[in-house]
């Protein structure tokens, strides 16, 4: 019983982190229909910036994830402008747009390998390596901090999308861009802001990733299928659904790792994705 409780607890904490790394893709893929397969490499870029700030100036990893967020936003704005002018405006986004993001993925990954090599990098902070004992269960801070930060990030994005003008415009452009044009809003501008926001989230997500464990440039490939599975399982464009799906995937992976074997845990997200597509194609909270 104790083993089961610990597996569920670790899965919940892991799910909060999965929510943090997936919620940006919920905006770009779920709401904008932009298949940004380079999303995980932006997370790895965020991890390396957190590593540099932490190892050089001793900046706390969480703060090191928040400080570069404005730069990531403008990076996302620049990427979307190139994508829109080169592919989306011409109606060539389906295949050539996919190749475009593949190119970005490998460009950033190779740049990181040339600069930092393939050695694993990690950060240090007073809470990493310690744990909180609560109700007979031990909560490792390296998982608890990403869980709390990831949950807050998801809540903040949910409030932004549902309570602000730009948030409602982003939701509107995903549903009926022509109606949005009739209301005087520019759908391209709204999509540019939304894509910039989706990349900005990867700055904090990258810091959370390197808090959990050391990273190297190619580790982002492990998360490509997982983040897409979480977004589809949660329901395309549903921020709340993304967090619920992330927790389901986290708990399922943790239980599988403990009771079946760690090698099988990576297949769990794909199995859940296939099950969802077969039973409920629109996902748990699909639009």
In the chain (287 residues long), the average pLDDT of successive 10-residue segments reads: 82 90 91 90 96 94 95 96 89 80 93 93 89 82 91 92 88 75 80 95 95 91 85 86 90 86 78 80 74
Closest to 174 in 3D by CA, of 237, 83, 230: 237
CA distances 125 to 84, 130, 182, 207, 211, Å, are 41, 10, 51, 12, 9
Q: From residue 228, give the alpha-carbon distance in Å to each of 30, 44, 69, 101, 186.
A: 9, 16, 22, 15, 28
Handedness of CA 212, 24, 248, 241 (dihedral sign): positive
Q: Tokens at residue 103, please?
A: 């190119």
pLDDT at 276: 78
> Checking phi first, is residue 229 left (phi over 0); if not, alpha (psi -120 to 50) or beta?
alpha
pLDDT at 287: 60
pLDDT at residue 109, rounded to an integer: 94
∠ at Cα 213 (208, 216), nearest 5°?
A: 95
| CA-to-CA dists, residue 286 to 61, 163, 229, 234, angstroms | 34, 20, 13, 7
Q: Give the pLDDT of residue 96.
A: 83
Dist CA 57 CA 77 (whole Å): 28
Comparing C-alpha atoms, which of 52, 62, 46 is closest to residue 203?
Answer: 46
Give the C-alpha separation, 188 to 231, whole Å: 23
Residue 106 to residue 96: CA distance in whole angstroms: 15
Q: What stretches of the chain adopt beta strand conformation (E)?
A: 131-134, 137-140
The per-residue pLDDT for 39 is 93
Count of other CB atoms within 10 angstroms of residue 115: 10
The pTM of this model reads 0.92
Q: Do 255 and 166 contact (CB within 8 A), yes or no? A: no
């Amino acid at each position: 019983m104790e083993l089961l409780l610990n597996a569920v607890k670790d899965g919940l904490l892991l799910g909060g982190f999965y929510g943090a790394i997936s919620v940006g893709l919920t905006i770009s893929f779920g709401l904008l229909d932009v298949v940004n397969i380079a999303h995980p490499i932006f997370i790895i870029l965020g991890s390396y910036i957190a590593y540099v700030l932490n190892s050089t100036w001793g900046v706390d990893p969480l703060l090191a994830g928040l400080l570069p967020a404005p730069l990531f936003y403008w990076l996302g704005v620049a990427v979307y402008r190139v994508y829109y002018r080169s592919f989306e405006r011409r109606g060539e986004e389906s295949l050539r747009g996919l190749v475009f993001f593949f190119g970005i993925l490998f460009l950033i990954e190779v740049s990181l390998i040339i600069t930092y090599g393939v050695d694993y990098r990690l950060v240090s902070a007073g809470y990493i390596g310690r744990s909180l004992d609560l109700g007979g269960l031990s909560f490792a801070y390296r998982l608890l901090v990403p869980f709390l930060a990831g949950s807050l990030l998801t809540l903040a994005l949910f409030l932004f999308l549902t309570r602000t003008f730009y948030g409602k415009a982003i939701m509107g452009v995903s549903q009926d861009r022509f109606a949005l044009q009739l209301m005087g809003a520019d759908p391209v501008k709204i999509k540019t802001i939304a894509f910039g926001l989706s990349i900005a989230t990867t700055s904090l997500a990258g810091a959370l990733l390197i808090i959990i464990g050391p990273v190297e440039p190619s580790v982002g490939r492990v998360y490509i299928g997982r983040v897409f599975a979480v977004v589809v399982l949660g329901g395309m464009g549903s921020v709340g659904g993304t967090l619920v799906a992330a927790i389901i995937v986290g708990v399922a992976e943790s239980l599988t790792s403990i009771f079946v074997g760690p090698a099988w845990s990576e297949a769990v997200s794909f199995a859940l994705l296939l099950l969802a597509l077969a039973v409920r194609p629109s996902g748990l909270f699909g639009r």
